[in-house]
Amino acid sequence: MLVRLKYPILNFLNKYKILDTIFYFKNNWYVNYLLSKKNIGKLKEFKNKKKIFYCLTPCYGNMGDQAIAYATNKYLSEHFKDYEILEFERDEFFSYAKAIKSIVNKEDIIIIQGGGNMGNLYIHEEKPRRFIVKKFTKSPIISMTQTLSFTNDDYGRLEKQKTQKIYNRNKNLILLAREEKSYQKMSEIFENKIIKVPDIVFYLEDIFEPTKNNRNYILTCLRDDKESFWKDKKLNFLENLQKVYKEVLEYDTVVNKKIYKEEREEELFKMWDVFRNAKVVITDRLHGMIFAVLTKTPCIVLRSADHKVIESYKWINDLNYLRFTDDLSFNSIKPIIDELSGLERIDKTNFKEKYFNKLVKQLGIS
């Protein structure tokens, strides 16, 4: 009987969109907020403590975003030592939003995850950020290092107006732009305090020492998504590369699995070991480039479809082991590979001294 009933029932549920409705309510972040009253008591022990609420951190496999979360936590723990740091992943934040609301004090700080998703390209990330800016108005809010990008069409202009209206109403919101173009755009759109500072992952500049040991292969880390600029040339380039160089590893900074905060550090160091064992990295990913800097690995940098790689490269264009090129052809890339493979010295960086140690004073909230 159950077997005979199964398909008619599923057809009925599908016909009247009942399955879609169930999925919506189970996964929609705003619904989770409305149902979050049950968690109000879970954070009450922090009511009278100085605290930082670090919100919307990733639980997905974009290791660039995971590195941002790792670096942000490290920065906060080293520069806000008298604060408790409470981290809430994106998918759990809304279940605790009312609990946070019930214990947040004026001297507390709300941190929003940084990245390359401010705008309408990743609207599912922008909407939760708007929610926080709209709902929490009495405490300082810091939106960590971001690239801003709204598309130049009706959809982009509409979403830009929505974001502009919500952000400008919150006088306690501070925006960190991670490169000049985003800084200029933010300055045009928003009335909030805006600070230009490199991607927070550069704060990890001293976690590895330069080494020439075990550098065995050419590592390619090329996008295959909507931000890719090289879709038509990528396959031909890889074929030619593999013909000449015996050891070529095709890789990515995105892994196809959930990664929760408890697993973050282990997974990042696994990935960084892959970069550390490469002779040269070829990448059009922002954090492919940054991971090369962290691991002191020679790197050929290519543009992406937007401005974030080109603009962020300006922070590091004087490093002797990085080269930018706007041509993904093997004949152009090969001489650069050969040049970088023979480097005897790797330049040092000083991001902490030049930028990050000054940031606390610039924020004006410690």
Q: What percent of the chain has pLDDT over 70?
A: 88
Q: In the prediction, which pLDDT does 20 show?
A: 44
Q: What is the pLDDT of residues 336-360, one digit of tens each?
A: 999 999 898 999 999 999 999 999 9
17 Rama sector, left if φ>0, alpha if ψ -120 to 50, beta otherwise: left
Question: What pLDDT band is residue 5 in, cutting at 50, 70 and 90?
Answer: very low
Q: Could you tell me which residues are beta bridge partners of residue 55?
A: 88, 112
d(CA 102, CA 41): 9
Question: What pLDDT band is residue 235 in, cutting at 50, 70 and 90?
Answer: confident
Domain ranges of the chain: 35-203+356-363, 206-341
pLDDT higher than threshold 70 for residue 1: no
Domain covering 206-341 in this structure, CATH number: 3.40.50.2000
Average pLDDT over residues 66-70: 98
d(CA 281, CA 292): 7
Choose the CATH number for 35-203+356-363 among 3.40.1000, 3.90.1570, 3.30.360, 3.40.50. Answer: 3.40.50
Residues 6+ apart with CB under 8 A from 16: none
SS3 343: coil
Written as one string, the DSSP assignment of 216-232 is -EEEEE---STT-S-HH
Same fold, 35-203+356-363 and 206-341: yes
* Strand arrangement, sheet containing 278-283: 248-251, 217-221, 278-283, 299-301, 322-324
Question: What pLDDT band is residue 25 in, cutting at 50, 70 and 90?
Answer: very low
**What are the helix (H) ranges across 190-323?**
231-244, 264-276, 286-294, 308-313
Q: Whose structure tokens read 């019930």?
A: 102
Question: What pLDDT band is residue 30 in, cutting at 50, 70 and 90?
Answer: low
What CA–CA distances, in Å, run from 155 to 38, 217, 313? 37, 44, 29
Residues 6+ apart with CB under 8 A from 235: none
Per-chain mean pLDDT for the chain: 89
Q: What is the pLDDT of residues 114-131, one digit of tens each?
A: 999 999 988 989 999 999
Q: What is the pLDDT of residues 175-218, one digit of tens each?
A: 999 999 999 999 999 999 999 999 999 999 999 988 877 899 99
